[in-house]
Structure 1
Amino acid sequence: MTSDLIEEELALRLRKAFSAFPTGVVAVCAIGEDGHRVGMAVNSFTSISLDPPLVAISVANTSRTWPALARAGVIGLSVLGNGHEEVSRRLAAREGDRFDSGAWRVGDEGAVHLDDAALWLTCRVHGEVEGGDHTIVLLAVDDARFFPEIEPLVFHHSRYRTIGA
């Protein structure tokens, strides 16, 4: 086997293995420099610190959306709720209107949040760390609104799922 083939096989096994860890899906959205909404979906989101309040997302280095979000200043994170599968698919698409589904709100400073989300965070970029083919983005949290009545959307084994009672 060639080295490239071995690396491809490992990458496929890792993709499958990593999908065994259930994650939430987060909409990362803002008003861009051109005044239009810009956003993407991520499932690599984690809390980092309470003091100072920090969270992190992981963004592919090939993302065409992240540079526009990084320049936006204030960014809205919405933890998608059960029933937001179409919103997630649209935000992950390379073509078309990413905001065609769902009801969106724009905050005074330009953070964009999704109605019926389980959580809203309003953030600013705190720093970035290189991590292979992704960049780990640390975000400082300016505000948080939690909606405990909303069940989150879960992504597991490359499928959308819900949490049972």
Structure 2
Amino acid sequence: MNSEAAAPRFDPLDLRKALGQFPQGVVAIAAEVQENPEVLVASSFTVGVSLEPALVTVAVQHTSATWPKLRDEATHLGVSVIGREQCHVARQLASKDRAGRFEGVGRSVDGDGAIVLEGSPLWFKTRIFSQFTAGDHDIAVLEILDLGFDEDAQGLVFHQSQFKELNPLL
């Protein structure tokens, strides 16, 4: 395997637009850190990485100010899939206003500090299993310790730089 990357033959902004053609789910990864809620909203989340052990992944930009806090100071992380009814919550949690991110957002915190959002179609309680660097991101492999889901709740996707609802074709 060659670890040296070849020079791209495309503009990085075109790559960003191209990758935006692939709809992805949106998650909030959250925990209490020194008694304060911290959250990272990501669309680079992958389920089904492994069933034994139960693993999922998330890719986090190196520029994230929140990830080092969650990674280094939280023992457990809550991962909440953002539902159709929570579009406004996703925007609020992703805002630059750190102080107001959780204002009015229903959530629960377990004894290990993992935060899950109320009304999420799916949530996991996780801990970091491993992490590695991949270009300008870190790939965190998270071990699922517990989960809950609502089969009737609808998901939300991030597509072409917008939050969108899922609608059946038939």
Same topology, TM > 0.5 = yes
1:114 aligns with 2:151: no
CA contact (8 A) 1:86 1:101 kept: no
The equivalent residue for 2:42 is 42
Name the SS for the 1:150 alignment partner.
Answer: coil
Partners of 2:155 and 2:69 in 1: how far apart?
27
CA RMSD of superposed structures (Å): 1.5
Give the total of aligned pairs. Answer: 158
8 Å CA contact retained: 1:74, 1:111: yes
Structure 1 residue 90 displacement after superposition: 1.9
Cα distance between partner residues in 2 of 1:132 and 1:38: 25
- After superposition, residues 141-160 of structure 1 pair within 5 angstroms as 141-160=144-163
- Between the aligned residues of both structures, percent identity stands at 36
- C-alpha distance in structure 1 between counterparts of 2:52 and 2:36, whole Å: 33
TM-score (norm 2): 0.88
Matched residue type, 1:15: R
Q: TM-score, normalised by structure 1?
A: 0.91
| Aligned pairs for 1:79-118 within 5 A | 79-96=81-98, 97-118=100-121
Output the amino acid matched with 1:135: D
- Matched residue type, 1:85: C
Which residue is 2:132 aligned to? 129
Amino acid at match of 1:150: A
**How far off is 1:101 after superposition?**
4.1
Structure 2 gap ranges (5+): 1-6
Q: CA offsets, 1:38-92, max 9 Å, x none?
A: 1010001112100011100000001100011112011000001102122111222
- Cα drift, residue 119 of structure 1: 0.4
Q: Which residue of 2 aligns with 1:54?
A: 55
Which ranges in structure 1 are unaligned for 5 or more consecutive residues? Answer: 1-5
